[in-house]
Amino acid sequence: MTRTARALMLGTALMTLAAPAVASAQSQPGGSSPMQVHAMAQQPALNLSAYGEVKVAPDQATINFGVVTEAPTAQEAMAQNAQQMTRVVAALRRAGIAERDIQTSGLNLSAQYDYQQNEPPRLRGYQAANRVTVTINDLSKVGTTADAVVTAGVNQVDGISFGLKDPKAAEDQARVLAVRALQDKARLYAQALGVDLGPVRSLTEGGGYAPQPRPEAMYARVAMDAGGASTPVSAGELTVRIDISGTYDIGR
């Protein structure tokens, strides 16, 4: 037998052995229906993001302030603090702030020490701090309310933020703008790529409304101006932004 004939016979044998292996991979034991595996190419898609943003005037303000007192003993520090805070709450009520809009946000008592080089710390006394968060629903009263509480005993103003009582309308408007921006971007990409734009496959949302604080430096004047004109406070505008991401099918 020639070498060529032996090579042909060996090739035939290998093909015969390989055929049952392919068949067993396509059928299941017991004579059940053949199992078919399909390799599907992934559908081409555009993954894009966009946002919608609206400006809106706030209708609510939140002020954080506190009363800090120091005394030789812890009991004295707490008693003095309680007296001042009682006057502050009374001033808030006179200013038209409802009880539900006044919330204690912090109450602390700590020992105070004097430190000198090469000497052990010396107890100076105790410091009591009571902090309150107040929501003001009439922005025309923000300045006068700040003045009233400072006059009543507040000696720390920690900050202020402006917000919306109901942000839904502004958020919905931003959502519409975000979707329009996403659609415009998808059409532009499809046109530039020379492909047909299909339906949106998925859509996710991020962002949303959040109260925006103002710089605290503006409120350092509260204590200085309390004896004169009402403290000026500017609410400005809020930015409500909605971020979205979408996946579009594309094809030729």
Name the strands in the sheet holding 196-208, side by side, starting at the edge strand that comes first in the sequence: 45-56, 238-251, 196-208
* Same-fold call for 42-58+165-226+233-252 versus 60-163: no
Under the banding of pLDDT at 50, 70 and 90, the label for residue 211 is: low
User: Rounded to an integer, what distance in angstroms lies between the CA atom of residue 115 and that of residue 98?
Assistant: 44
Under the banding of pLDDT at 50, 70 and 90, the label for residue 125 is: very high
What CATH class does 60-163 carry?
A: alpha beta
Minimum mean pLDDT range among 16-25, 27-36, 159-168: 16-25
Q: What is the pLDDT of residue 39?
A: 53
Rounded to the nearest integer, the mean pLDDT of the chain is 81
**How crowded is residue 164: how many other Cβ atoms within 10 Å of its Cβ?**
18
Q: Which residues of 177-212 are buried (b: 16+ CB within 10 A; e: fewer)?
A: bbbebbbebbeeebeeeeeebbebeeeeeebebeee
Strand ranges (E), the chain:
45-56, 60-71, 102-114, 122-136, 156-163, 196-208, 212-213, 238-251
Q: What is the pLDDT of residue 135?
A: 96
Distance set, CA 135 to CA 22, 99, 139, 154, 201 (Å): 75, 10, 10, 16, 43
Q: Measuring CA to CA, which residue among 139, 145, 97 is closest to residue 238?
A: 139
Q: What is the pLDDT of residues 127-161, one digit of tens each?
A: 999 999 999 999 999 999 999 999 999 999 988 99
Task: For residue 92, give every residue at least 6 positions away whose Cβ sits within 8 Å of its Cβ, in sequence order, or none.
Answer: 102, 134, 145, 148, 149
Domain ranges of the chain: 42-58+165-226+233-252, 60-163
User: DSSP for 69-113?
Assistant: EEESSHHHHHHHHHHHHHHHHHHHHHTT--GGGEEEEEEEEEEEE
Q: How many residues are there in the chain?
A: 252
Fold of 42-58+165-226+233-252: Translation Initiation Factor IF3 (3.30.110)
**How crowded is residue 76: how many other Cβ atoms within 10 Å of its Cβ?**
15
Task: For residue 81, give every residue at least 6 positions away whose Cβ sits within 8 Å of its Cβ, in sequence order, or none.
Answer: 67, 68, 69, 128, 129, 130
Q: What is the pLDDT of residues 225-245, one digit of tens each?
A: 444 567 788 888 999 999 999
